[in-house]
Every structure is written in C-alpha cells, then in structure tokens.
A and B are shown apart, each in its own frame.
Chain A
C-alpha cells in the first residue's frame, strides 16, 4: 500500500464548478497534511496545510481532513482555467523531522 494515494486523473470540470480532489494515507498517526499545486514545468507551490479534523477554508480553497477515515480532500470553488494544474497531497512523515511523503498528484483541467 502506497503511503499517500491520489487518483492521477485527469479530473475535468467546467469553469465555475467545484473541483474535488481526494487523497488517502496509510499511517493512521499522521498529524500534518498539505496540498501543493504544481504547474507543468514548475515547482510545487503550497496552497494549504491542515492539522485538525474538519474543514479549513482559504479563499476559494477548502481543505477537509478526516483522520478516522484517513483521507484529506481539497475543494476548489468557482474553478478557473488558471487552476488547471497537478495537485499534490503531502503528509508529514512520522519521526522524520520535517520530511513529507507526497502522492503522485491529481491532474485538474478546468475547461472554459
């Protein structure tokens, strides 16, 4: 079982719709979770971090965490073509300082 799993996509949504990206992780004691956005040919950019069960909102982005079910999701409201990118889910490694385990990413395509 991979440590962090994401559907590779592509996930295609029309402009203005809500994009829902999901991630599951295997280590049930994980405490820190992150979403990064990566445009083609560029490095990842931190979107959000979440540490507690429930929802965390930042502008058009909402991260949701359910530790009992070991999943974390990212909702993008009012999706724009500029949101088209690969979204990486990352989970802090246990007993490893600041190191993160990354999923393979979900490709999102927002169509005009």
Chain B
C-alpha cells in the first residue's frame, strides 16, 4: 500500500517554456501532498505543502507565481514550473500523507532539465 506515482519521470524543455508534473496517490486518499526539490548531492528542500481544495502553502523563498501547485482531488496534485530557466533544472519529488501517523510516501521523482 501507500503507492505514489509521478509523471513524467524525466523531461527536457527549452528555456522559457512551462512544464507540468503530476503526482498521484494510487491506493489511498492523500489529504496533504508535498513538493520537494533536490539538487545534486544536496538534501531535500520542501517547496510547498498542498491540501486538497485549498491553496498551497509555499516555503520562504519559493516563488508561488513560478511554481504553480494545484491539488484538485484527494489523489492528484500538479506542479507547473512556469517560464523555466536552466537554474530550475533539478530533481522534483512529490510526497503524500493521509494514511496515518504523519508518514509521508514519496513518488519516484521527476528529473527536469532546462536547456
């Protein structure tokens, strides 16, 4: 149980374009989903927390207009990187909670490369 999927697993896009990443909880209802970014050899950095049906809460320093998060249902959250630039190239990982006891389950991640 507690399976989280992400799509796509990797994407290459040109500078200035937008990219949408989907995160789905497959076998449970996720009351809360999280979006992280991880640069090479660094730890996870929480970008935002989203609850179904409400606006996401962004961490300090994360541009909400650049990283658009939508949590339309209890099983789906999307992250859209708008006007992507090479410095946005990173490993984006979502996680979901909702089973019990605050445990978070991670999706497999999306590797974004902006050229």
Which residues of A are in contact with B by a Cβ distance under 8 Å? 32, 34, 36, 42-46, 49, 51, 88, 90, 92, 96-100, 102-105
Contacts and interface: CB of A to CB of B under 8 A. Distances in A.
Q: Is the interface of B mostly helix, strand, loop or mixed?
A: loop
B73 to A, nearest CB: 17
Given A43-B107, A43-B109, A51 B101 contact: yes
Given A97-B49, A98-B32, A99-B46, A42 B103 contact: no
A42 B102 contact: no
Interface in B63-80: none
Given A42-B108, A43-B109, A98 B43 contact: no
B102 A43 contact: no
Contacts of A92: 102
Interface of B: 31-32, 34, 42-44, 46, 49, 51, 93, 97, 101-109
A44 B103 CA distance: 12
Contacts of B106: 36, 43-46
A99 to B, nearest CB: 5
B32 A34 contact: no
A100 B104 contact: yes
Contacts of A45: 106
A32 B44 contact: no
Contacts of B46: 99-100, 102
Given A97-B49, A98-B102, A42 B43 contact: no
